Amino acid sequence: MMSESVDSFPALDWQGQPVDCTRCGQSRRETPGRCELQVACVEDRYALRIDRFFKWNPVLAKQYLRHPYFEVRAIAAKYIEVFYLPQLVKDDDETVRWSAVHRLTPRQLLALRQDPDREVRIRVAARLLATDLMSMMADPDYFVRTIVARRLPLTQLLHMKYDPDAEVRAEVAKRISVDGLLGMVGDASEIVRLVVVHRLPMGYLGHMVNDIDWRVRYEVARRAGSDVLRQLLGDEDEAVREMVHARQLNHISVVSGMGSR
């Protein structure tokens, strides 16, 4: 027995009319118990009931790929045999295409790289083979490009360090080689430069000693060697100066400790 909270809603079809079992071929099936009003019904507008119907009758899912209600088509996509999925690639509704993306093969996903809906492209970018992602580097949506930057092979990542969105460039900075990272020390966004300064090897931190953002200079002061550290002694920001002094005191303490042994 299904819970009252789930199945207390009236049985209405996708057009808001009461579900009429006498007009539905499934209610006349010879095998009893494969559908039930307000519980498992393919004509109900309630998605959970549609899903239950296909869960109970997965072999029937392929019969509903052209149903007028998009929710029926989208849920049927979860249950149909994989060779029926390509039929849904050009479905008029983005929810149906998004549902199909979950099960399409990487090769079949190629057809959806330029889908008009961003949610579909986001899912495509997350599932596509990394070697096929280059064509999505210029996607109009920043979050699609962010996913591309996270998954693109390192040999191709250099092409994205000039992306117009700072969030995308920050993802690039998290993965790019040290040589590529050096080319991003002067990035216009502090979000990107903060990623860069955290990843740069200590010997390269002098490149960021004059950064306009105090947080970047603070990280330089926290990690840099003594030569770079001296350049920050008179920094305009108190937090940076305090870090410099703390590092210097710690160095003196370590040296003194070694001398007393």
Give the residue extent of every domain in the chain. 1-103
Tokens for 182, please give them.
């050096």
CB atoms near residue 16 (< 10 Å): 7
How far is it, in rounded angstroms, from Cα 85 to Cα 10? 32
Q: Is the pTM of this model over 0.85?
A: no
How far is it, in rounded angstroms, from Cα 120 to Cα 173? 26
Q: What is the pLDDT of residues 101-154, one digit of tens each?
A: 999 999 999 999 999 999 999 999 999 999 999 999 999 999 999 999 999 999
Segment of 24-33, 177-186, 246-255 carrying the highest mean pLDDT: 177-186
Q: What is the pLDDT of residues 16-40, one digit of tens each?
A: 888 888 777 676 555 456 888 888 9
**1-103 is classed in which CATH architecture?**
Alpha Horseshoe (1.25)
At residue 36, φ and ψ (nearest 5 deg) are -155, 130
Q: Average pLDDT for residues 230-259, to the nearest whole number?
A: 80
> Which H or E run contains 181?
helix 178-182
Compute CA distances 163 → 4, 64, 127, 136, 146, whole Å.
52, 42, 22, 12, 10
- Find the distance separating the first CA and the last CA of the chain, reported in whole Å: 78
Query: Within a 13 Å sphere around the CA of 68, how many CA atoms are in the beta-carbon half?
Result: 5
How far is it, in rounded angstroms, from Cα 85 to Cα 100? 6
Q: What is the pLDDT of residues 62-102, one digit of tens each?
A: 999 999 999 999 999 999 999 999 999 999 999 999 999 99
- 8 Å CB contact between 136 and 145: yes
Q: What is the pLDDT of residues 135-147, one digit of tens each?
A: 999 999 999 999 9
Report residue 183's pLDDT band, with 50, 70 and 90 as the boundaries.
very high
CB atoms near residue 249 (< 10 Å): 10
C-alpha angle 112/118/119, rounded to 5°?
85
Task: Report CA 73 to chain centroid distance, whole Å.
Answer: 25
The predicted structure's pLDDT at residue 29: 57
> Which H or E run contains 253?
helix 238-259
How far is it, in rounded angstroms, from Cα 249 to Cα 241? 12
Tokens for 122, please give them.
């986001």
